[in-house]
Amino acid sequence: MTTNAEWQRRSLASLWHPCTQMQRAATAVPPLPMVRGQGPWLFDAEGQRYFDALSSWWVNLFGHADARIAAALKEQLDTLPHVMLAGCTHAPAVELAERLSARTGGALGHAFFASDGASAVEIALKMSFHHWRNRGRAGKGEFVCLRQGYHGETLGALAVTDVKVFRDAYDPLLMRAHQVMSPDARQAQPGESAADVAARAVGEVEMLLRERGERIAAVIVEPLVQGAAGMAMHDPSYLRALRALCTRFDVHLIADEIAVGCGRTGTFFAWEQALPEGASDAERRAAWPDFITLSKGISGGFLPLSLVLSTDAVYQAFLDEDVARGFLHSHSYTGNALACRAALAVLDRFDQEDVLGRNAVQAEALTRALQPLLNDPRVEHARQRGMIWAFDVRAEHAGGNFAERFHLAGRRRELLIRPIGRTVYLMPPYVLDEALSAWLAQRVQATLTDVLEHPDADPTHQPPTA
């Protein structure tokens, strides 16, 4: 079976695709049948290539079919693909937990494994609540989240998510969380800096914690970049101030690094950019959050894996002869050996190569190539943090159904790209070079021009464009 059309027909007849209105998929935007990946490229059933500008929902770090990760998985496959982690243990899980803890300077000493980002958020929320109950403070059962924040689509994670298209249909099922101002720098008033916006947002958190701190278990935040909000970026000072407030009012701090971890923001953990410079080791350990959730890129785009890192203080609250005081949460594939081995291969790349330094060089190259966007009157809020770029198309220029129109026009230019509303963003694999950056920037700008200059064209019936 070699045609896209036949695979699309079979897919639409049998699959329910995520984050998709299936009526629209059947009539206008059928799924692309991918059969092969190589580096930053994906290839459909008819041999057409597409640059994976989104790292396949932000999971692919080193390109598709990375040989080193694949070799590690093949070795593990012949040794131990899986064993339950309840009552057993294995080297890949132990070594992964040790190496991730070391990257926090030992501040977060224990890892609890799961399968996907939302389940990691569920675990962090439950751990926080249960910790306070075990400490004799069962009244601390409320959570604080940021407006525009996104933490997943299971019920607990959705309760601390503020993206209406995901949340509203299920609102009657959700617990009530407090929402506070996002530090999104796009909210700056005339004369304000990103740090000023962050300070205003911190003030709102402080007011809430003064009033409800005795009832609040935890604050959850996406450090530096709120992804589903349209890559809303904020100043690191917000995170430092938030850590100080949570310490002062005895409230847990959960850093959701599912999207922004593993080097996406320029440091392995985004939170590293909020650590105090010149501080002692003890002061730096105290500046980390109480929990970090990690998923997506940690396994390099090969296998589903997520985890929660927690402090020793949290872990010790569950130690007791009473089983009910333990953390009785599980998934059948918790700590899957294959997935953990993939993650170890990812960490090997960071340890043995200057991944972050190379990324910084390539980020500068892509930023230079995208420079014309800064002078485009149709565009506002061009921004970049590490290996994440974004810009917003002004509302008066975007027209109706902008995201779909841009996505389809991008396909015609060998781009796999999915805007969020009026926000066009790039989160490519870590395999850019100067030539590829120039190519990518040219294709993005050509797609933008095409979409904005032909707002009434039907991109579903346009021929491919070189």
Confidence of residue 466 (pLDDT cuts 50, 70, 90): very low
Give the separation between CA 363 and CA 430, rounded to whole angstroms.
10
Average pLDDT, the chain: 96
pLDDT at 17 over 50: yes
Mean pLDDT of 12-21: 94
Q: What is the pLDDT of residue 259?
A: 98
- 396-433 pLDDT per residue, tens: 999 999 999 999 999 999 999 999 999 999 999 999 99
Average pLDDT over residues 75-94: 97
Write the pLDDT tens digit of every residue in 360-405: 999 999 999 999 988 899 999 999 999 999 999 999 999 999 999 9
Q: Measure the CA angle with vertex 370, ends 258 and 420; round to 5°.
A: 40
pLDDT in tens, 179-226: 999 999 999 999 999 999 999 999 999 999 999 999 999 999 999 999
Torsion, Cα 104 108 113 119, to 10 degrees, reads: -100
Q: Token match 């909210």: residue?
A: 187
Percentage of the chain beyond pLDDT 70 is: 97
Does residue 462 carry a pLDDT above 80? no
Mean pLDDT of 63-79: 97
Q: What is the mean pLDDT of residues 222-243?
A: 98
40-59 burial code (b ≥16 CB/10 A, e <16): bbbbbbeeeebbbbbbbebb
Q: State the amino acid at position 175 in one-letter form.
A: M
**Dihedral sign, CA of 175, 291, 324, 137?**
negative
